[in-house]
Structure 1
């Protein structure tokens, strides 16, 4: 390929990296002079036919074809994830949410804020999933009503389509997986500002999310362990599981993933994980990875404590305890639940009203050691 084509592809593949698939697909088709045909799924190395011809001996005409197949496969894998119409995203009216905006050196985000009727005693950041809005997520989880009982300020940051085509937090992008830059820096700085405004201690500052939001919550727990006392990950993935859009989709399907090296912290956040066993968006294996990583950071081992019906679902619950008996990590595997917030309000998106109340259990976990 010529220099101009290579440069063009580098620019266009940036759209794939951020899951802007409709733009990426059009750009790639234009670059190659036509639509790329989807290639067959990659097979394990053991299943591929052997070749005795060294790669350097392949005909020149064969090498561009293989590049086209790889790029075509990348587009085919992501083709179902097209950008939504921003106006079509659910945004129910919730009068108890105050619209605000926050800006720091790392960037700017709008957010909604819930303030309890009594003196604030804690702070919770709630990170929505893809194709959701703060209002929709607040309605579906019902967290604000519980926060009013416990005196928690709740911030609902918004990831707009201008930040990600599907309004996903960019947990899979290396630019947004570490401290000091990107979305982790924005969210941690927001938490710090609100903690100062409402005079909330770190011991009562928490973050939780669903799907992409849960994955970003896991990133925050590792990137800023001094900022959050506990983390809630619902249907999310472990920090460092992916490094681009394609590896993110592979990890979501349960493919083996090279985990990022652990960065031990003197006070790593406590972690609670919720996962449905019939989730076809995020493979349940990812919940085990989040749990294993949390246990490794806290230097504890989990034990299975219960397997029993809760509500209309059967739940397998594992807990890893510190020497003082407090839970460093909990894992709730909910049988029969898909990609949805367990125990959520049916009027919100991605909720399963039949499951145990994840919102109540998260707050119980957050506050029991605060």
Structure 2
């Protein structure tokens, strides 16, 4: 089956202008003006995307596929992700992780969940570990997990500067980062250490110390939740000025207007400070919990984070004046580069995976293709998970 997306403005993310895009199986086979069906193609469907934008499928590098939470007891464990949670957000690649709870959620279950979503239609990867150090693994070792388990591309989310962390020492984090780096080198993967940054006063202090005192390159560390407060954003800018990448967490539109700093606001601020957009990424923390703690450390409220918030932040960047090609970089080519998924992910190019999102004039998601398969049509999921 061949599919031709006809007449759309293609952002690869660079603006390629009005082009037709040919999907052959799981890949993009051609990009050119005015491509017509040919008998040699065999069965072909033509999708008119005139006056729409054609962009790469989004990469969400921080998703709790098994659910997260549990900070206020068993009833506050958030539910598992289902296929349409991902696809209706315009996301075609996810990286699954464990969080606070590495006990009732575990690596074997996370791997099984990732494989099931992959079979249902999207691309999945994993971090080995959870908040705590030493981290839970499949083989007993971070390095071995990276080398032997195909889907594992890094270690995380390891918590620092947070009362829920295991309070790891600098030496423990250095050893963990080294294990992830060498495992990545041996397996040809990113081998990053994905760090949950809490609201504690130590902020990124230990990360700056690791960069200054060890030989581990700054590219191995990816701190997330950097838009937690303005002080942490300023610390993130210091890291970016040293060549690091910082990850912002997408905010629920319902929270905008209170004290929440959205990823879009944080990115616009960073750009004004001279940080290149190539060093900025956004992830959803999808199906993780958003607990509110009182002054005594008790939980006063809790919500579930949503994968759809990822694209909402992109929309806000466009509405603030960024071109669509620039606005999508933090959810396409930037995470693809950080996670070492290029050249098949994060771009629209001949030979890349046919992960494509079509956006209409009102910035609504109209169509989603993942691995060449049409999963969302006219804003509605036409393919659902096995038990949806």
TM score, norm. by length of structure 2: 0.31
**Which protein is bigger by CA-based radius of gyration?**
1
Higher relative contact order (CA 8 A, sep 6+): 2
Between Structure 1 and Structure 2, the one with more strand by share is 2
Between Structure 1 and Structure 2, the one with more helix by share is 1
